[in-house]
Amino acid sequence: TDGNYQENMPATEIAKITTDNPWYILGAGAMGCLWASYLTLAGLPVVLITRNKRNGNAINLTKANHSQSITIKQITLGELKPSTLTIKHLLVTTKAQQTISALSDIKPHIDNDAILFILQNGMAGKHIANLLPTQQLITGITTDGAYRTDELSVVHAGTGETLLGDKSIIDCLPKNHLAIKFCDDIDNKQWQKLAINCAINGLTAIYQCRNGELLENEEALSRIKLLCNEITAVMHALGLSVHQSIFDQTLHTLTITADNYSSMYQDCQQQQSTEIDFINGYLCSEAQRLNINCPENQRVLAAIKQIEQSYAQ
């Protein structure tokens, strides 16, 4: 499905990225810095929107022990607000729980016809669509692994792939640097990713371990089984096809990301709010709507909420 659609597509339908009309990136975390780097390397103009002024204007990108410094244009929210600047292309890489507040901050600058490419864990899509009803929202799902070692240094630790639910922007993305593919079944893929995050992320924060260590923990494994059964029931009730068992997919992800610390583990370690409301929280609210019991997901949700509350003490 990917790759050779372009010949049939009129040039006017392909969004144009120029210096006057760059990719703006909201969310300068690991994914935001990674994409800012690769978009720049692909020759596409980029502006990183940051809350506070950063020390320096270069991102240090490391992949397979090779580091390079990439100059990136940045604008702070304070500089953006009084300007008349209009955003036509926005890559959203904020954490799910920060997305609505961050988008509300820049909403006056987002063009009514803007394209938003949303690349994050969890299910925040509906809230974004309510906030920005006229803009085109394109969902992306990525299995690339990245972490930051400081504000502007990012390590591309695991090479995965990025799927997106719309072809129109593929030529405006760094497809020579990242494995980017169109997916005609993005809602299903997003649910599979949600399912895996429901089964892994909370437990790594509860047992305070790397992903792979869950495989050696019998109690954790039996909880993963329960979580997967509940998620599968919800997916079936929603009419989503589950080709490969969610439990098998989870075990596979745990094996290939064995050395990773999950994003939720990292958030808890840094005493930051987590994406739990958009992962197990979302699953539980869908289950409730469908009258399906999800006690194990509720248990994980409650345990992570308790961890978050303990920071405030």
8 Å CB contact between 182 and 166: yes
Q: Does 192 bind ligand KPL (CB under 6 A)?
A: no
Dihedral angle of Cα 193, 90, 260, 283, to the nearest 10 degrees:
-30
CA-wise closest residue to 106 among 127, 131, 123, 130: 131
Q: Which of 40, 94, 253, 274 binds ligand KPL (CB under 6 A)?
A: 253
Q: Enter the tokens of residue 43.
A: 């020759």
In the chain, count of helices (H) and strands (E)? 10, 12
Q: Which of 36, 114, 152, 200 binds ligand KPL (CB under 6 A)?
A: 200
- Per DSSP, what are the bridge partners of residue 24? 47, 90
With H, G, I as helix, E, B as strand and everything else as coil, classify residue 208: coil
Q: Does 162 bind ligand KPL (CB under 6 A)?
A: no
Q: Does 94 bind ligand KPL (CB under 6 A)?
A: no
Pick the closer one to ligand KPL by CB: 135 or 197.
197
Q: Does 139 bind ligand KPL (CB under 6 A)?
A: no
Q: Enter the tokens of residue 171.
A: 């030529």
Q: Does 263 bind ligand KPL (CB under 6 A)?
A: yes
Q: Which of 94, 260, 280, 297 binds ligand KPL (CB under 6 A)?
A: 260
User: Could you give the CA distance from residue 4 to residue 171 in angstroms, rounded to a whole number?
Assistant: 11
Q: Does 201 bind ligand KPL (CB under 6 A)?
A: yes
Q: Does 93 bind ligand KPL (CB under 6 A)?
A: no
- Shortest distance, position 291 Cβ to ligand KPL, whole Å: 29
User: Could you give the CA distance from residue 158 to residue 17 in angstroms, rounded to a whole number?
Assistant: 28
Q: Does 250 bind ligand KPL (CB under 6 A)?
A: no
Q: Which of 97, 211, 274, 280 binds ligand KPL (CB under 6 A)?
A: 211
- Shortest distance, position 156 Cβ to ligand KPL, whole Å: 14
Pick the closer one to ligand KPL by CB: 109 or 210.
210
8 Å CB contact between 204 and 274: no
Burial class of 113 by CB neighbour count within 10 A (0 to 12, 13 to 18, 19+): exposed
Pick the closer one to ligand KPL by CB: 70 or 200.
200
User: Could you give the CA distance from residue 161 to residue 151 in angstroms, rounded to a whole number?
Assistant: 24
- Shortest distance, position 267 Cβ to ligand KPL, whole Å: 9
- Shortest distance, position 256 Cβ to ligand KPL, whole Å: 9
Options 93-101, 102-110, 239-247, 259-267: segment touching ligand KPL (CB under 6 A): 259-267
8 Å CB contact between 105 and 92: no
Options 4-12, 78-86, 107-115, 194-202: segment touching ligand KPL (CB under 6 A): 194-202
User: Could you give the CA distance from residue 232 to residue 62 in angstroms, rounded to a whole number?
Assistant: 38
Given the rule CB under 6 A, which residues bind ligand KPL? 121, 196-197, 200-201, 211, 253, 257, 260, 262-263
